[in-house]
Amino acid sequence: MPRTSRFLALSLCLVLAGCGGTAATQDRDPAPGYPRTVDNCGVRTVVDAPPERVVSLNQGTTEILLSLGLADRLVGTATWTDPLPADLVEANEGVPRLADNMPSFEAVLAAEPDFVAASFVSTLGTGGVATREQFAELGVPSYLSPSDCVKDNSGAGDGRRDRPLTMETIYTEVRDLAKLFAVEERGERLVADLRDRIERATNGVDASGVTLLYWFANSEAPYLAGCCGAPGVMTEAVGAQNVFADTHDEWPQINWETVAERDPDVLVIGDLTRRSQTAETAAKKIEFLESHPVTRNLTAVREKRYVLLSGQAMNPTIRTVAGIEELAAKLREFGLAG
């Protein structure tokens, strides 16, 4: 039986019947310079050769892999919120999209992956596509973005951070993936470029005393950023203050009356293309803000101080750097950058 047929047969056996065995992905001898191992969120991720058939379950990990020049290794992507940045569009042409949102376990297995990556525990974990243990049973190593596992995901919602996220954790993800694929030099170049972009964007910016509010999605019960995720990275970079810096939940749902009490100077708005919540696009959000009896009197709304960011910029990803660039530029435009 061909390797692919053996893999799929075993995969379906494990999913549907719970049978045991070892996947064909483990049959090969280690390649020169392998095996390679990274300690990832309490799991030792080991590969015996550069992965050749990768499924990325979230847009964040997909963009890192594309940025590392690994488009030819991707056999499936999923869970998208935004269009790709212009410099990655061509690389992504021909990469199969398994689903716009979360794919089924069966759809992932049908792509016959030898490596699976994800940005969130909610995707690669209980209640998601599958657990890391389920993929391990098939001999498929997995990788989870460390930015998600350094927060407490035990409760409801999007988790809680007791320590502020930094870009160093995102750089760790870039370096880990570069190591597993034996493209370390590309990884270091990418990290250096991201550092340089932040330095150039924030040079001379001092927004101390300026208050920000980050709105990701939903108009009835809005998801607003707490202190310490990617919005915290952006806020720290420009020296401003998040009006909900006293909230450690990643994306708590907070009512508009509480927002009005804190009356932020600037609204940072997620401009999403997905359709899983209300008021996803920036246009819909602004329409809501300017018509709702509570929000239309906010200082930021009256002054039309809006900063529009992709969902990927507002999540802990390499695109958080683009968020810093846009935020810094807009604060300068508003005359609030010191």
Q: What is the pLDDT of residue 74?
A: 98
Residue type, 173: E
Tens of pLDDT, residue by residue over 136-179, are 999 999 999 999 999 999 887 899 999 999 999 999 999 999 99
pLDDT for residue 188 is more than 80? yes
Question: Predicted confidence band at 30 (pLDDT cuts at 50, 70, 90)?
Answer: confident
Contacts 24+ apart (CB under 8 A), 31-38: 33/182, 36/179, 36/180, 36/182, 38/143, 38/176, 38/179, 38/180
Measured CA to CA in angstroms, residue 90 lies from 30, 51, 189 at distances of 32, 21, 20
Instruction: Note the CATH number of domain 3-194.
Output: 3.40.50.1980
Q: Do domains 3-194 and 206-333 have the same CATH topology?
A: yes
Q: Fill in the DSSP letter of residue 85.
A: P
Residues in the chain: 338
Domain map of the chain by residue range? 3-194, 206-333
| CATH architecture for residues 206-333 | 3-Layer(aba) Sandwich (3.40)
Measured CA to CA in angstroms, residue 167 lies from 93, 123, 172, 236, 256 at distances of 28, 22, 9, 11, 30
Q: DSSP for 196-250, please give it.
A: HHHHHHHTT---TT-EEEEEEE-SSS-EE--SSSHHHHHHHHHT-EETTTT--BS
Write out the E strands in the chain. Answer: 36-40, 43-47, 54-56, 74-78, 97-99, 115-118, 142-144, 211-217, 223-224, 241-242, 266-270, 306-309
Q: What is the pLDDT of residue 12?
A: 52
Question: Predicted confidence band at 2 (pLDDT cuts at 50, 70, 90)?
Answer: very low
pLDDT for residue 191 is more than 50? yes
**Mean pLDDT confidence for 231-247:** 98
pLDDT for residue 9 is more than 70? no
Q: What is the pLDDT of residue 27?
A: 55
